[in-house]
Structure 1
């Protein structure tokens, strides 16, 4: 399974999501079975590391995202990934509008796809402070648990003798 997390600039939400998902999946029965990456719909930060506040928040929870570098969503991503999981509705709209003919990847809001109850969008913490980054981290941690549950269930159903 190949998942791409998408936000606007690929310096706050999506690299933090990539880091949280990598850490949680590595510690789960899905370890080694899920490939992850992140991208932004915009090109403002291409090549830049994640926002220092996102790096600090991840580090606070034992996750290192400092080596990640921002990149922009490419047409090939619609063929290379199974799911393009978006931070908010604007990102989802942009991802779908950029889908090339014959795209195989499906797209959805990350929180909805992961089954996180009560909230559908991850707010952009870029203009906020520590409280906003903490809120985003908590949403992403809940999303990671939901992603693992969804993929583990799907894996069980696709094995012989299951569903």
Structure 2
């Protein structure tokens, strides 16, 4: 998303957070690094953090990868939230309501599919925010 926004000349604050604390401070899976590199992306600066109440006051949009995450996010929305909350693929034509597949328990090639989905999401969001 950062690359797509920068290429479009958009100045956006972009972050990523998990709904659980399980991997706080950890780097992405090595297979994610490999898939990102194959697609020309650098995720070396990524570290896991947990979503918090301030995120709903700081960000205008919060996108969830799947329905389980969406449900978890909606359960922690604080009073006064300014964030629009939706599934990531809701912004991609023909993919509304779909989840980004979690490649963790799949073959390494599944990480490439996830990168392709996230790239399509980033491109769609850039178009949306560039209007």
Q: Give yes or no for TM over 0.5.
A: yes
CA root-mean-square deviation: 1.2
* Larger strand percent: 1
Contact in 2 for aligned 1:41/1:95 (Cα 8 Å):
yes
Match of 2:111 in 1: 133
Unpaired stretches in structure 1, ≥5 consecutive residues: 1-20, 154-163
TM-score, normalization by structure 1: 0.76
SS in 1 for 2:49: coil
Contact in 2 for aligned 1:122/1:139 (Cα 8 Å):
yes
Deviation at 1:116, TM superposition (A): 3.5
Structure 1 pair 118–84 and aligned structure 2 pair: CA distance change class (3 A): closer
> 4+ residue runs of structure 1 moved beyond 6 angstroms?
none
- Out of 76, 81, 106, the residue aligned to residue 54 of structure 2 is 76
Match of 1:115 in 2: 92
TM-score, normalization by structure 2: 0.93
Deviation at 1:105, TM superposition (A): 1.1
The count of corresponding residues between Structure 1 and Structure 2 is 130
